[in-house]
Amino acid sequence: MDQRIDIQICLGSSCFARGNKRLVKVIEQYLNEQNLRHLVHFHGAHCFSSCEKGPLVKIDGKEYHQLTEDKILAILNGIFGKDAPDF
The one-character DSSP state at 48 is -
Mean pLDDT of 30-34: 95
Q: What is the pLDDT of residue 32?
A: 95
Name the pLDDT band for 83 (thresholds 50, 70, 90).
Answer: low
Helix (H) or strand (E) holding 13: helix 13-15
CATH number for the 5-80 domain, one of 3.30.420.40, 3.40.30.10, 1.20.1440.230, 3.40.720.10? 3.40.30.10
Least confident piece of the model among 3-12, 28-37, 55-64, 74-83 = 74-83
CA distance 7 to 56: 11
CA distance 8 to 6: 6
Average pLDDT, the chain: 90
Name the pLDDT band for 86 (thresholds 50, 70, 90).
Answer: very low
The one-character DSSP state at 64 is E
